[in-house]
Structure 1
Amino acid sequence: MTHYNLLQTDNAKPIKMWTKGVPVEEEAKTQLTKTAQLPFIFKHIAVMPDVHVGKGSTIGSVIPTIGAIIPATVGVDIGCGMIAVQTSLIASDLPDNLLPLRHEIEKAVPHGRSPHNRRQDIGSWQNPPSLIDSYWQQLLPGFEKLTEKYPRFLNTNNYRHLGTLGTGNHFIEICLDEADRVWIMLHSGSRGVGNAIGSFFIEMAKKDMEAHIKNLPDKDLAYLQEGTEHFQDYVDAVHWAQEFARLNREAMMNNVILAMRKVITKPFTTHMSAVNCHHNYVQKEQHFGEDIFITRKGAVSARKGELGIIPGSMGAKSYIVRGLGNEESFCSCSHGAGRVMSRTEAKKKFTIEDQIKATAHVECRKDANVIDEIPMAYKDIDAVMTAQNELVEIVHQLRQVVCVKG
C-alpha cells in the first residue's frame, strides 16, 4: 500500500503527495502540475503534507532537477530554517511571570521592521555587538567575492541583519518537551541580503529566457541552465546566503541564551540536541544513483537518522524528528503545519479576542499585527504528522510557553 497520493497528468512527471488526511488547495495542485511539466525534472516531484500555494512555486514541495535550477522555487527567503537547543533547565526553573523573559529576548534580538519612512529600522542592528562581528568575519570572504562581480549587493542589509529575526512567520520560542525540559527554538533565514540575491536571480532567469519564456507553463518557472555564467553565479550566491542563514540562527541563539541568563538566576547548560536545518534551499545530492539538484521549498532533509525540526503554528505543538530516509520523498519531510488561508484572509476572519484565546497558554504578543499568525490559519499539526509517518519518527514533542514574533 502506498502512503502517498499520486497526481499524474499528461506531459508531466508524476507528483507523489504525502497528504492523506490533510487539505490541499486545487491551486496548489495546478501550481505543482506546471512545475512537473518542465523537461529537466528528475523522476517525480515529492509533496509534503504542509503543502500550499506559494509565490513563484508551491510551498511544501521537493523539486529534483538535472542540469538546471529554478530560482523562484528556492524563493527569496534563501536558507530559511530552524535551530533548536535543549537546556538543562526544567519547567519549574522558569519564573512564574514570563513577561520579563520575553522582554529580555526582544531586547537581545532585533525583530520586526519599521515603516520605510523611518530612518532607523528596528529590525536591524544600529551598533552590532562583537559577537556579530565574529560571525560576519566567517561570511566576509564569500561576500567580497560575490560583490566584486555584483556590487549591487553592497547596498543591501547584510552585516546589520546578521543575528536578527525579521518579520512574518519568523519567531523565537521557549518550549517545554514531554518531560518538562526547557528548549529554545527559533526560525529565520538570510534576511535582507538573501531576499536581494533571490529577487535578482529570479529576474535574471526571466531575462535569460526572454525568447523562450512564452513556452513555459508559468513565467515564474524561468530557470538557469547548468554551464551558463548566471547558473554558476547563482549557485555560489545561494550557497553563501544559506551559510548566512545558518550563522544568523546561531548568532541569535547565542544572544537568546545570554538574555535568558539575565532573567533565570539558576546556572544552566545547553547542548545542540537538534540541528540547525534549512527548509528553503537548493543543494547537490545523490538520489536513485544520480547526482542531482534538490530544491526544498518549505521542506526539511530527513535522511535516515538525521534530526530535524517541524514547528507547529503559534500556540500549537512542535516536533523534533528523526528522518527515516524515505527515498521516494527524496529523504524529506514537511517544514511545519502549512497555512490553510492567506494572511489577508486570517486578518479578516479572526479578531484580537480569537488570538488571545488561541494563545492563552503562551506569553506572546496578542495584538492586531499578529492575527495573521493565529493557529487557526494553519493546518492541524497532528494530521500533518500522521500523513508523514513513513518519512520521520517523532523524538520530542514541544509546547511553547514564550513566543517572540517578528
Structure 2
Amino acid sequence: MENRINGDDLLAAGYKQGRILGEALKAAAALQHLSREEALALLLKVKDYPENFLDDEKLEALATAMIEEMNKPADTTIALVTEKKEYAVYGKEYIEEGAGKQMAVAMQLPVTAAGALMPDAHQGYGLPIGGVLATRNAVIPYGVGVDIGCRMALSVFDIPADAFYANEAKYKRELIAHTKFGAGAGFHGQYKADHGVLDSDTFNITPFIKQLHDKAASQLGSSGGGNHFVEWGIIEFEERDEALNIEKGKYLALLSHSGSRGMGATIAGYYTRLAKDLCRLPKEAANLAWLDMDSEAGQEYWLAMNLAGDYASACHEVIHRKLTAAIGARVLAKVENHHNFAWKEIWNGEEVIVHRKGATPAGKDVMGIIPGSMTAPGFLVRGLGNEAAINSASHGAGRQMSRTKAIEQISKKDMQAVLKENGVTLIGAGLDEAPMAYKDINQVMGAQQELVKVVAKFEPKIVRMADDGSRED
C-alpha cells in the first residue's frame, strides 16, 4: 500500500517549510504500510505532541527534530529599517565611499531620527569619523567612540607673535618639560596633578567605574598617542572680536588635542560589549548597538560618558595651567569643545541624543576649534546653527590616507621637508601623522561655510606628539 503523501499534504496539515518538512516526508515514506488517512493522522499527532513519539522507531527522528526546533533560542536580532532615510552630506567629493556606506547603515537603525556627514569624514568603527547621528532615547557607545570626550582646547595669550619668535627655544623647552605623551603614559608621586574631577561622586556609581579612579589619577594632565598633540602657534584675528574682547592682531596661542585617556577607552569597551549583548543587530550594524536611555545600563553609560568628558576637560586644564605658569603669561581668551561625545538636544522640535563622532558642536554662536595638521592652519570658529547638519561641523581636516598607507608611502625625508617649508618644529610623532596623510583643511573649510564662520586663524609652530605615533589603548 502506498500512502503517497507529498509536501503539499504536509503543508496543508500545518507543517512549515524547512528542515521539519524534510523530516516529515521521510517519516511519511516509513509509514507506507498505512493508508494515506492513517499516516496523515499520525503525522498530525506528531506535530501536536512530538514528546509522545520519542520512543517510536519510525517517528523518533521527526519528533526529536520538532522538539529541538521548539527549544531553539528565539532570534532576537533587531531588524533594520528598510525605508531609505536621507541625510545631509557636506564636501561629498572629499569623502571616501566607506564612510558613506557606514552612515547609510546608521540611518537604518530604528532609533535614528536624523544624520549628517561632515567634510572631514572617513571610515571608522561603527559610526564613521565625521558622522553625526541623532537618535530617540538611545545612546550608542561606538557612536560616541573609544576616546570619549576627546576635545580641543585653545588659550590665547597676551604675548605678541614677535616675542614668541625671539624666544622659541624657551617655548620648546617648557613644552617638553610640562607635557607627557603616549599610550599608557602617566605621572607618579610628586609629579601627579590634582583636580576636582577626581572627587566626583560618579566614580562611585559602580565597582567597575570605581576601579578606574587610580588610572585616571595617574594619567591626569597627560596626552595619548595617535593624532593627539600640544602645540604653540600664532593665532591671527583680522578684526576685533567683541565676544572674546580681543583686538585685531597676532598672538601666541596654545592648542591641545586629546581625550579621556585609558579611563575613557575602558568605559567605551565595557559598555559596547554590554550594548552588543542587550541589542542584537544584523552583522553590518553590530557596532552600532545601543543602550536604552530608560535602562539601568543606559543611565550608567551616560553618567560614565559625562565623567570621561569632564576628565578630558580636566586634562587640558592641567596642561594649559602648567604651561601658562611656565611662560608667565596672561590668558586673554580660552575656547574648548568636545567631539566623540553625545548630547541631549532639541532637534526639529523633539529631544534627541546627538552623537558627534569626530564632529564639532556648531550651534548658533557656539565657539569651536577645527585644526588642520601639524603644518596646516587651524581655525577658531563660531557656529551658524545649521539644522540640516544637526548643528555640527568637522573636527579637523580628516585623514585621506590610512595609517598603514602613510607609513608605506611617506618617507622621513619628505616629512622633514614639509616641516621645514612651513617653519614648524616637531617633537615626536610617527610618519602615520605626516601632514600629507590629511585632507586639505582649506577645502574642508570651504565645504562647510554654511556651518561655521571663521573668527581667527591658528598657525602651528612648535608641535609635540607621542614619540612613536602610538595610539591610546
Residue 118 of structure 2 corresponds to residue 55 of structure 1: no
Q: 1:78 maps to which residue?
A: 148
Compute the displacement of 1:269 (Å). 1.4
* Aligned counterpart for 1:140 among listed residues 163, 186, 199: 199
Cα deviation, residue 101, structure 1:
2.2
The yes-or-no answer on 1:340 pairing with 2:369 is no
**Which residue in the other structure is 1:125 paired with?**
187
Tell me the percent identity. Answer: 34
**Residue in 1 that maps onto 2:171:** 101
Corresponding position of 1:117: none
Counterpart position of 1:170? 228
Q: Deviations over 1:282-334 (max 9, x none)?
A: 11011111111011001111111111100001111100001111111111111
Correspondence list, 1:205-220, <5 A: 205-209=275-279, 212-213=280-281, 215=282, 217-220=284-287
Distance 2:232 2:101 in 1: 38
Q: Deviation at 1:349?
A: 0.5
Cross-structure match for 1:323: 383
Aligned length: 372
SS of equivalent to 2:147: coil
| Matches for 1:245-284 after TM superposition, within 5 Å | 245-261=312-328, 268-273=329-334, 275-284=335-344
1:323–1:87 distance in 2 versus 1, CA, 3 Å? same
Aligned residue runs from structure 1 range 7-406, under 5 A: 11-20=83-92, 22-42=93-113, 44-96=114-166, 98-113=168-183, 123-127=185-189, 129=191, 132-133=193-194, 135=195, 137-148=196-207, 150-154=209-213, 157-178=215-236, 179-209=249-279, 212-213=280-281, 215=282, 217-261=284-328, 268-273=329-334, 275-360=335-420, 361-365=423-427, 369-406=429-466
Question: Helix, strand or coil for the counterpart of 2:368?
Answer: strand
The answer to whether the 8 Å contact 1:299/1:332 transfers is yes
Evaluate the alpha carbon distance shift between residue 165 and residue 128 of structure 1 in structure 2; reply closer, same or farther with a 3 A threshold. Answer: farther
Unaligned runs of 5+ in 2: 1-80, 237-248, 467-473
Larger Cα Rg: Structure 1 or Structure 2?
A: 2
Give the C-alpha shift of residue 340 in structure 1: 0.5
Partners of 1:105 and 1:256 within 8 A in 2: yes
Q: Deviations over 1:107-131 (max 9, x none)?
A: 2122124xxxxxxx6x21022547x
Distance between the aligned counterparts of 1:160 and 1:192, measured in 2?
10
Distance 1:308 1:50, change over 3 A: same
Q: Judge conservation of contact 1:37–1:217 (CA < 8 Å) in 2.
A: no
Q: Distance in 2 between matches of 1:358 and 1:95?
A: 20
Residue 371 of structure 1 aligns with an amino acid whose one-letter code is L
The SS at the match of 1:327 is coil
CA distance in 2 between partners of 1:311 and 1:193 (Å): 25
- Mapped to 1, the partners of 2:406 and 2:327 lie a distance apart of 32
3-state DSSP of counterpart to 1:53? strand
Q: State the 1:216 CA deviation.
A: 5.5
Q: Cα deviations across residues 209-266 of structure 1 (Å, max 9, x unaligned)?
A: 3xx33x36321111112221111111111011111111111111111223334xxxxx
- Tell me if structure 2 keeps the 8 A contact 1:50–1:338: yes
Question: 1:142·1:240 contact (CA, 8 Å) conserved in 2?
Answer: no
Q: Which runs of 5+ in 1 are unaligned?
A: 1-8, 114-120, 262-267
Structure 1 SS opposite 2:379: strand
- Could you tell me how far 1:160 is from its partner in structure 2? 0.7
Quick one: which amino acid aligns to residue 160 of structure 1?
A: S
Deviations 1:4-60 (A, max 9, x none): xxxxx953321210115x421111111111111101111x21111100001232000
Contact 1:52 1:60 survives alignment (8 Å): yes
1:148-200 Cα distance to aligned partner (Å, 9 max, x none)? 4645535x621011111111101011111233311111111111101110111
Q: Which residue of 1 aligns with 2:64?
A: none
Equivalent pair of 2:209/2:304 in contact (CA under 8 Å): no
Contact 1:147–1:153 under 8 Å retained in 2: no
Structure 1: distance between partners of 2:283 and 2:346: 27
Instruction: Give distance in 1, aligned partners of 2:322 and 2:411.
Output: 33
How far off is 1:147 after superposition? 4.2
Q: d(CA) in 1 for partners of 2:404 and 2:277?
A: 31
- Pairwise CA distance, 1:103: 3.0
Q: Is the 8 A contact 2:381 2:452 kept in 1?
A: yes
Query: 2-side partners of 1:217 and 1:92: how far apart?
Result: 54
Say which SS state the counterpart of residue 124 (structure 2) adopts. coil
Contact 1:216–1:222 (8 Å) recurs in 2:
no
Is residue 78–residue 195 contact of structure 1 (8 Å, CA) maintained in 2?
yes
**8 Å CA contact 1:99, 1:363 repeated in 2:** no
TM-score (norm 1): 0.87
8 Å CA contact retained: 1:12, 1:38: no
Supply the AA of the counterpart residue of 1:174. Answer: W
Residue type matched to 2:320 in 1? M
How has the CA–CA distance of structure 1 residues 87 and 171 changed in structure 2, closer, same or farther, with 3 Å as cutoff? Answer: same
2:430 counterpart SS class? helix
Counterparts of 2:118 and 2:165, CA distance in 1: 38
What is the distance in 1 between the residues matched to 2:340 and 2:201? 20
| Structure 1 residues 104 and 149: alpha-carbon distance in aligned structure 2, compared to 1, 3 A threshold | closer
